[in-house]
Structure 1
Amino acid sequence: MIRTVVFDIGETITRDDRYWAAWADWLEVPRHTLSALVGAVVAQGRDNADALRLARPGLDVAAEYRAREAAGRGEHLDETDLYDDVRPALTELRRRGARVVIAGNQTARVGELLRGLELPADVVVTSGEWGVAKPDPEFFQRVVEVAQAGPAEVLYVGDHPANDMFPARAAGLRTAHLRRGPWGRLWADDPAVGAAADWRISGLSELVAFVGR
């Protein structure tokens, strides 16, 4: 029985459109150029921050984050960044008695912004707040702790094979691969992803059908 559903953040809960557009504007490169670079590193299985380093060789990403914040051009999230199915699906899961957790690889600032949106979730936390990021096994140990359930009773929902599906499965969690965003779509039909995922879904509303059982 699934007692807790845990959601990745980027391209699961939130769209990454604003994130990459803001970086393109900051680095003064066309948005289409940076989007294409993101696609290239995704296809190569590389860290998405590599797209920023391709746009500006030698870039210190952490330093640029700080510079953006100092310039008043730091991270921002509002209701328009959420996928349309987020609030309805999370609300229904909680109505059915499931504990809902949002936990993904994001900065501490994103954690603050998400909590400010007052989503229907019991816990919202980021890797920046925990000091450990996916796919580190410790991240998923923390997930189980905040889930307040045994690993086999926890469902992790995400789009990224290497960061979500494979390490969550290795930690003993149930998994749902979401066909959303570049990572989710690129690997949607990959046999390894199929083997690691208990379910493959195209939208969060599909979770309600089996989590309520």
Structure 2
Amino acid sequence: MDARTYQRKGLAGLTALLLATLPSAGCRRSSTAEEEPGPDDTARASASAPPYTVAPFRGFHFDQGDWAAYVVLEPADVSDLKGALPRGCLVLKDRAVLEELKHLAFKPPSGADMATVQSALLFVLDGQVVYESNLLLTPHRDGLQTLGFGWIEPEKPGTLMGLVKRFEPLPESEPLPLAMATFTPWCTGKHRPRPQPETLRP
């Protein structure tokens, strides 16, 4: 037997010995199919991943400029709330509460829409409306109908209503910003249907 043949036989024997000892060591050989995740693995990973949340106001910098948030309730919504809010036109300029609104988390969008919502939440910066969405506030449900996400509800139900309760009643002597003129009839009691805004800002 020449040296080359002896070397080949020696390597083959060593390989066989190693493979024979793998099961007893608690190891197993894996194939390519075992290494690549299949559909079931992907489904399990998706199911275990935490759902993402939406924070539509996170990009606002309330420490820069003159900010105010307004809630204007459709008169029928004011009646339905039965005194839960002091007035149908509310304003918030407290930066600490604005920051809480900024970080308010909403559930992932469902793709649904709340077409009948008429009340509104608006953010005004230096007299200009920079955000507007329709707003639903009831004792049992609260949420926003937005252009960018559709219908969204707070991750913790009732938190949006809780923050709106910290808004102040807009004094009747204080006019709305000119950019919100279409809401004036609602705040003065001279109600008429409000035309839908041409552009809702997501």
Length-normalised TM-score, structure 2: 0.25
Larger Rg: 2
Length-normalised TM-score, structure 1: 0.24
Which structure's residues are more often helix, by fraction? 1
Which structure's residues are more often strand, by fraction? 2
Q: Which has the higher contact order (CA 8 A, sep 6+)?
A: 1
